[in-house]
Structure 1
């Protein structure tokens, strides 16, 4: 097995272990009245969990995308609402065809970064384009 496959498998195991631990801690709190400190502890556990899984610069409600066309490569932080944008969906289908669904890397889209910039330049509310910038 290659080094990258081992790392990917190891990362998935770590994420699974963290998720199981979180579920176990949450279940242990069932049946007892939650205190402020219990809620603060759960929030801290959630922050710890996502801090290990997500890159630090990825804000809640966003995901990272790498646009790569062979010449240019650029990373973007994209609001989740763009997952319903028709042009973005087309690019995701293109990415699935080229890279598959489980390649253990960041979401990479085979396009010129300007295509992502153009989509993000539109004010997309999840259903319609509000205006062009």
Structure 2
């Protein structure tokens, strides 16, 4: 887990993140990620979330990270991708926030 968090810390500036504007043109801008958070892309639509790093150790997130490694491998470049629907991921985040 420590190795994964160190790896994720390298992409926390999310400089490789290029959001799409309303006209579907690529817009290059830096998006700051708060300290102690990790940027992730979720689902087929690659919706961007910032997740508190402490949540990555919870069983549900560990399972998502395992599935991510199985689908995309450990050599992902840039922001971490999670193979889960954005709706389900939002529910998971709400549940995790309620537990704290």
Same fold judged by TM-score > 0.5? yes
Task: Say which structure is richer in helix.
Answer: 1
- Once the 2 structures are TM-superposed, how far is the Cα of residue 94 of structure 1 from its aligned partner? 0.4
Moved over 6 A (4+): none
Corresponding residue number in structure 1 for 2:32: 57
- Measure, in 2, the Cα distance between the counterparts of 1:92 and 1:100: 10
Q: In 2, are the aligned partners of 1:68 and 1:74 still within 8 Å (CA)?
A: yes
- Measure, in 1, the Cα distance between the counterparts of 2:76 and 2:54: 24
Q: What is the SS of the residue equivalent to 1:75?
A: strand
* TM-score scaled by length of structure 2: 0.64
Correspondence 1:86 to 2:45: no
Higher relative contact order structure (alpha carbons within 8 Å, sequence separation ≥ 6):
2
Corresponding residue number in structure 2 for 1:7: none
- Measure, in 2, the Cα distance between the counterparts of 1:113 and 1:58: 19
* TM-score scaled by length of structure 1: 0.49
Corresponding residue number in structure 2 for 1:66: 41
Corresponding residue number in structure 1 for 2:24: none
Q: Which runs of 5+ in 2 are unaligned?
A: 1-9, 15-30
- Measure, in 1, the Cα distance between the counterparts of 2:81 and 2:48: 9
- Once the 2 structures are TM-superposed, how far is the Cα of residue 124 of structure 1 from its aligned partner? 4.7
Corresponding residue number in structure 1 for 2:22: none
Correspondence 1:119 to 2:78: no
Q: Higher Cα Rg: structure 1 or 2?
A: 1
- Measure, in 1, the Cα distance between the counterparts of 2:96 and 2:84: 20
Q: Which runs of 5+ in 1 are unaligned?
A: 1-49
- Measure, in 1, the Cα distance between the counterparts of 2:62 and 2:78: 19
